[in-house]
Amino acid sequence: MIADPYADRGSYRVLQRAGDLCYFRVSVDETDLSIGAKRDLSREALAAVLEARRQVLEAIAARPRFRSSLEPLRSHGTETPLIRRMLEAGALASVGPMAAVAGAIAEYVGRSLAPLSREVVVENGGDVFLFGAKARSVAVVAGGSPLSGLLAVSVTPGEGLGICTSSGTVGHSLSLGKADAALVVAGDCALADAAATRLGNLVSGPEGLDGALDAVCAIPGVLGALAVAGDKLGIKGDIVLQSVRGQ
């Protein structure tokens, strides 16, 4: 039997679940989503995942550098809105377009479900799209840091909000830095994902938090950011923290 490649995600997904939502999992190859909605919409979510992945795979087939580039790529002007948003997010954050793929797919799926559920949460490997009028909390998972799992970012998503986290010490995503957690909040989930990658790349250790946060919060569309390195925490912008243990 092949082991579940996403089994480690259960350790933090349990921190994100809200009691008022029905949660279900949709997994297709590299895409593994935990989704909360007012009812089980797994069939509709699977259709959205397949369509989003089709667009990404076609973009890669047409332009192999789309997958591998660590730097922004120009739009050809013929891309779908999903692919165009990944290119735009990469350009704003000075990273490659695939740095935005998890957030872009999370938002694509979430917005496809929003007409069917007044509250939606889509988590894709630590990148979260939220939609709805109720306040939500997203736990900050930071690897071996003593701060990991103790704090959560509190938001009221309204018409849509992205909270994305990159790390140089946790998970499978590529990071060139040493942050235990690099979290960004933005109105666009693809941008939050790309900017979180940029933040993670910039954090070289506890002493570099302030400069990295300043650079990322200067990106148009970023609402706020948080970085953890060891026992040090830095915050800038519109970030509201609460204690997980206090919930």
Kindly report the pTM of this predicted structure: 0.89
How far does CA 167 lie from the centroid of its chain? 11
- Amino acid letter at 17? R
Q: Which residues pair with 165 in a beta bridge?
A: 183
Q: Which domains does the chain have, with CATH numbers?
A: 8-243 (3.10.520.10)
Q: What is the pLDDT along the chain (247 residues), one digit of tens a residue?
A: 334 444 454 444 444 566 889 999 999 999 999 999 999 999 999 999 999 999 999 999 999 999 999 999 999 999 999 999 999 999 999 999 999 999 999 999 999 999 999 999 999 988 999 999 999 999 998 888 878 888 899 999 999 999 999 985 554 455 556 789 999 999 999 999 999 999 999 998 888 899 999 999 999 999 999 999 888 999 999 999 998 864 4
- Amino acid letter at 33? L
